[in-house]
Structure 1
Amino acid sequence: MTTADAVPIVFVHGTRFSAGQWSVQLAALRDEFPVTAVDLPGHGERSAQPWSLSSATGIIASAVDSLGRGPALVVGHSLGGYAALEFARCRPERLRGLVLAGASASTRGLGAVPYRWVAGLVPRLPADRLARWNDRLLRRLYPPEVVEATIRSGYAFHTLPAAWGEVLGRFGAEAMRHVKAPVLILNGEKDAVFRSGEADFARAHPHARVELIPRAGHLANFDDPDAFTDAVRRFARQLPAVG
């Protein structure tokens, strides 16, 4: 049973995925914590909704409120991590803690150029071909129980240009200064790109720490679901009580 004082947790998925990305974490944590996962605008069940960071923060806020336990721990991966940073800036009263997973790289400067190129290329490729490629890749790399919920939910390739178009050029380590809650920067050890700024992100916040998942890459919650879940669980248990 969930205890009365357990921290509510909201999971926010990464690029092209959906709430299904978190199926293993939700199953593992729901007996101890009130948990939920969202579909960002243009993703999953919100596939027809236009993307905007403003809408994304509103969706996260609604998910926090739906759990009915006050401020929540928000866990954001990649695109979802940057959306969570924006949520922390706009809705600080609803945030009890923040986990940034694969989202501690600056989206400014020359490092953003390859992502702008990908965002421009994706609309030129047939969505069904991209979906088949993603299905094969996920099934080759991971067990069915880890990725089938993601595969069933489909992919939001049509939203990628707008989503990354808004994120790129917007976030650097200074975004951490807007976060009033404790922060765990949780990265895969081998995620060289998206952990490239983790030290700067950690230094920019007085209550941030970095934890690495050994041998994991960008999709750390797929690469080692147990280790990822355990890191979130430990961080949630350590968060100070509200008030």
Structure 2
Amino acid sequence: MVTTQSLLQDSISISGPPNAPPIVFLHGLHLGRYSWKDHIELLVPRFRCVTLDLPRHGTMSEVPFDDEHIMQQLDYLFASVLRRPALLVGYSLGGFIAILYAARAQEQTSGLILTGATLDLTKWRRLAYRVLISVGARIPSRIFEACSRAFFYATLPKALAQAVSSHSFDQHAFNEAVALLEGCEFSRLLERYRKPVLIINGQYDIIFRPQARHFARKVNAHVEVAPGSDHVFPLRRPDIFSERVASFYENLNVGTS
């Protein structure tokens, strides 16, 4: 499928002062750009905030979730829209994509924040990821959407759950994500990155937190833990997460000034 410039433009939202430091947010699976809505409201007075719908989400729901289309979208964003390096923030699936992009195009970024995305999809984890994602792909769409809505309303603030639930999502993303990501040793990819990295996970994120320090050693990243929280921490506590993003970016500027 050819992704037109018009479709790429429609997939991107930008808020905040034009000359403010830019931050790009990449969302998790089945979430979309509106999952960052509360964070943007908190950050726009100080930062130029960019959110986008990754392929198979929202305005990009008919675009395949594969390396070609993801990289085309991010290249367009950085080269044609922002035209300057930005802090790249990735949550869950978006964190994996952030690592893939930062490892290839680190000159487009000023730093990297990963949350709920420190996991090498190798060995037994590769099989576990394949099985878990395959389940989502096989559930009939009506049942899947009903279960998703119930999950969102149980774990997210009501306004955010409403926004996310109304967002388009194509279940082809599950199998396409497996094809793209399984077998990836993300910690080794991250090792190529030469700019500042912050890793922040919920205390009870039992899937992604255990490997955080292994990832951090690859790039001398700073690791933080959100007490009493889990994998949904960035969405459930946008106030805390946004402040950590702002603080990290401000320290970047101090370190390079």
TM-score after normalising by structure 2: 0.87
TM-superposed CA distance for 1:65, in Å, is 4.1
Name the counterpart of 2:109.
95
Q: Secondary structure at the match of 2:35?
A: helix
Which residue does 1:73 correspond to in 2? 87
1:11/1:38 contact within 8 Å kept: yes
Give 1:223 shift: 2.4
Residue 237, structure 1, aligned to residue 233, structure 2:
no
Superposition deviation, residue 188 in structure 1: 1.1
Length, aligned pairs only? 241
Partner of 2:158: 144
Per the alignment, do residues 142 and 78 of structure 1 end up closer, same or farther by CA in structure 2, a change over 3 Å counting?
closer
Distance 2:57 2:18 in 1: 32
Change over 3 Å in CA distance of 1:205–1:139 after alignment to 2: same
Which of 139, 159, 168 is the matching residue for 2:173?
A: 159
For residue 57 of structure 1, what is the aligned residue in structure 2? 71
Between 224-233 and 113-122, report the one with greater CA deviation.
Answer: 113-122
TM-score normalized by the length of structure 1? 0.91
Deviation at 1:203, TM superposition (A): 0.4
Structure 2 Cα separation of the partners of residues 188 and 159 of structure 1: 25
- Cα separation, 2, equivalents of 1:218 and 1:66: 33
Unpaired runs of 5+ residues, structure 1, are none
Number of the residue aligned with 2:187: 173
Backbone CA RMSD of aligned residues? 2.0
Give the partner amino acid of 1:187: N
Q: Residues of 1 paired with 2:143 and 2:131: CA distance?
A: 19
Identity %: 28
Looking at structure 1, the residues matched to 145 and 198 of structure 2 have their Cα atoms a distance apart, in angstroms, of: 32
Q: SS of 1:153's equivalent?
A: coil
C-alpha contact 1:10 1:64 (8 A) present in aligned 2 = no
Do 1:119 and 1:165's aligned partners in 2 also have CA atoms closer than 8 Å?
A: no
Stretches of structure 2 lacking an aligned partner (at least 5 in a row): 1-15
Show the counterpart of 1:114. 128
Q: Is 1:209 aligned with 2:222?
A: yes
Contact 2:114 2:200 in 1 (8 A): yes
**Cα displacement (A) at 1:234:** 0.7
Evaluate the alpha carbon distance shift between residue 58 and residue 71 of structure 1 in structure 2; reply closer, same or farther with a 3 A threshold.
Answer: same
Looking at structure 2, the residues matched to 215 and 54 of structure 1 have their Cα atoms a distance apart, in angstroms, of 38
Asked whether the 8 Å contact 1:78–1:103 carries over to 2, the reply is yes
Separation of aligned partners in 2, 1:222 and 1:103: 14
Change (3 A) 1:221 1:176: same
How far 1:74 moved relative to its partner?
A: 0.6
1:96 CA displacement: 0.5
